C-alpha cells in the first residue's frame, strides 16, 4: 500500500488528486476508488492501478497520523 495526502477532492464532481509520500507524484482518484469519504489534507493509504489516462488510486482510506 502507498501513502499520501489528499491534495484536492471535489465531492460534487467525484474526483481529486493524492500526492504520494514517497516521490510527491500526483495520482488521480475517483469516488469509485474510495473506501470512505476523504477531504483535502487527509492522510490516506491506497493502491495504484493503470487507468485509461494514467495512474489511478483505488481502495483509498484514511489513516491515523
- Encode pLDDT of 13-51 as tens digits: 999 999 999 988 899 999 999 999 999 999 999 999 998
Residue 48 CA to residue 22 CA, distance in Å, equals 13
**Amino acid 24: pLDDT:** 86
Q: CB neighbours of 30 closer than 8 A, spacing ≥ 6?
A: 14, 15, 56
Q: Where are the extended beta strands (E) located within 1-65? A: 2-10, 15-20, 26-30, 43-51, 54-62
Q: CB neighbours of 23 closer than 8 A, spacing ≥ 6?
A: none
Domains of the chain: 2-62 (2.40.50.140)
Report the residue count for the chain.
Answer: 65
The residue ranking higher by pLDDT, 53 or 46, is 46
**Amino acid 59: pLDDT:** 98
pLDDT at 65 over 70: no
Amino acid at each position: 500500500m502507498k501513502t499520501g495526502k489528499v491534495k484536492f477532492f471535489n465531492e460534487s464532481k467525484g474526483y481529486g488528486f493524492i500526492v504520494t509520500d514517497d516521490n510527491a507524484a500526483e495520482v488521480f482518484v475517483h469516488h469509485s476508488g474510495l473506501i470512505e469519504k476523504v477531504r483535502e489534507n487527509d492522510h490516506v493509504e491506497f493502491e495504484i492501478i493503470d487507468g485509461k489516462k494514467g495512474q489511478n488510486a483505488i481502495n483509498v482510506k484514511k489513516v491515523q497520523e
